[in-house]
Structure 1
């Protein structure tokens, strides 16, 4: 079949490469426009665009999927089907009707679980033991279309979002090829998603990545892994942001520390939570490189009983400020 491929991040590249090695013909690639990145705010093309360029494939980078010119370009290409993997923008109904067999979406979860923008993050954060990828026909609803197939991936106790996504991207790429093969030879019929087990997860912001030390240690450890490598978990120490790259929940006997409280020794940094204690691995001070937690502590020399700022404490302080302002205004 003549295939249009749409995708943007690194996780979509294995699917593009798998299609290039298949019996199908990739006739064009659609990806998000170059974005500014780094301190110099340099325009950087997407990983999918870079891969397509090496493969000498035509590249379309519409600013908006609703652009009439983009619709005209797709119609002119006359695709049999379109494969979409983490493209990063919603497609309007007029676009969905262009390919003869529709748009086939590779989504990195076992639908209907974790519909939305960050399924791998959600699977790790909320303690799922299994996840995977799903191919389905795209429709107007958010990840609601009928399913062609799935592939299952176990979640390891040490998995970060990056490591897990790397595995799913590879296995999901093969699933996408098999799905298009089945559509081509009429051996696959999509099945509607069940109504039970539906869950959603939105895009994860930097604000969402702040650690709340007033939750159990196991939940904090999951959160850190779920946010690695992007956007990265962080906390606040003496008014400055501190990235937290790794942490380990202590088993057995551990000191009693209040949420966020630090205990420093020559070789380790311990921090309390609402239930349990964590040993910090790597951290990244604001404006500096990643370093071991013990090296960071030797530099800042935390005082006895000093603690990381708590999200709940910040909310309480914000509420007190609002109440104080309201009282002053009333007077």
Structure 2
């Protein structure tokens, strides 16, 4: 029998999982997501990506401000769900909510737990120079991503990958994994394994102060820092020697040959010296402008030696 599911998610990363669950015949009886937020020029209320998809599918949408009240728990229980599927929901689930569905709540997490528990696993994996990432389905408990693991899929991280690239690769991989996990739950064959206590790391929320590029670091670390923050919030630097600071977000780069004082522009093709070797800027964004390839940027800005980036 297909499962009665509550789906809990907010950003576009969660949408493929919702769609796959519906496509595989599970009955999604309610969608919980974050309330609409003001966005855009007119600051109109913008529903989440998950809410938009749920309404298109005709699924009832709930946007409670908290799940910690007796009223929220009572409403949650009225859905009589076999399980809840949670993908980047953005709110803490109290124990009473975790216990409400027949089989519990199952979370899709974008890392290879116990590495990168927490808010920003995709960004942190790239920034740390990890060779691989992945997705895991775990049965939730009250800890921070500490629940028992049901299934996992791995994915190599290359030096060409940005956070957006890894996000877009993991989202469908995770959707397929969650469908398989719910299939196992439906058949009564889903096995759970306790997480190891070795290798625990925490993926703290990205802070604005982390985004400034330190050209004194080795080139590969600079590259991974840039790619781990691309496109948002975007690693940035400033063009030195201008009357007013010109901020540049670097969105994509590659390793390059050459050396010099960290931050030096080494040629007329946007090779920039790092503490060890260099990187070449491939895509960037000037303040107030849209993203552009380096060739387009150079047509409007002459940036060559002896210029430097601070």
Could you tell me which of 92, 106, 117 is aligned with 2:119?
A: 117
- Name 2:276's counterpart in structure 1: 275
User: How many angstroms apart in 2 are the aligned matches of 1:240 and 1:64?
Assistant: 42
From the superposition, tell whether residues 262 and 40 of structure 1 become closer, same or farther in structure 2 (CA, over 3 Å).
Answer: farther
- Name 2:176's counterpart in structure 1: 174
SS at 1:5 equivalent: strand
Does 1:260 pair with 2:263?
A: yes
Does 1:291 pair with 2:307?
A: no
From the superposition, tell whether residues 18 and 295 of structure 1 become closer, same or farther in structure 2 (CA, over 3 Å).
Answer: closer
User: Structure 1: which 4+ aligned runs deviate by more than 6 Å?
Assistant: none
Does 1:137 pair with 2:143?
A: no
- Name 2:80's counterpart in structure 1: 78
Does 1:94 pair with 2:96?
A: yes
Please list the CA deviations of residues 114-143 of structure 1 after superposition, one character each: whole Å capped at 9, or x if unmatched: 111111112222222222111111111100
Instruction: With the length of structure 1 as denominator, give the TM-score of the two structures.
Output: 0.86
Unaligned runs of 5+ in 2: none
Instruction: With the length of structure 2 as denominator, give the TM-score of the two structures.
Output: 0.92
- Cα RMSD over matched residues? 1.9
Answer yes or no: is the 8 Å Cα contact 1:6–1:31 preserved in 2: yes
Please list the CA deviations of residues 39-81 of structure 1 after superposition, one character each: whole Å capped at 9, or x if unmatched: 3322211111111011000000112232443222101112110
Displacement after TM superposition at 1:301 (Å): 4.3
The residue correspondences of 1:209-288 to structure 2 (distance < 5 A) are 209-237=211-239, 238=242, 239-251=245-257, 254=258, 256-265=259-268, 268-288=269-289
The residue correspondences of 1:21-60 to structure 2 (distance < 5 A) are 21-60=23-62
Q: How many residues are matched? A: 304
User: How many angstroms apart in 1 are the aligned matches of 2:21 and 2:293?
Assistant: 42
The residue correspondences of 1:184-199 to structure 2 (distance < 5 A) are 184-199=186-201
**Structure (1 or 2) with the larger CA radius of gyration:** 1
SS at 2:238 equivalent: strand
Displacement after TM superposition at 1:286 (Å): 0.8
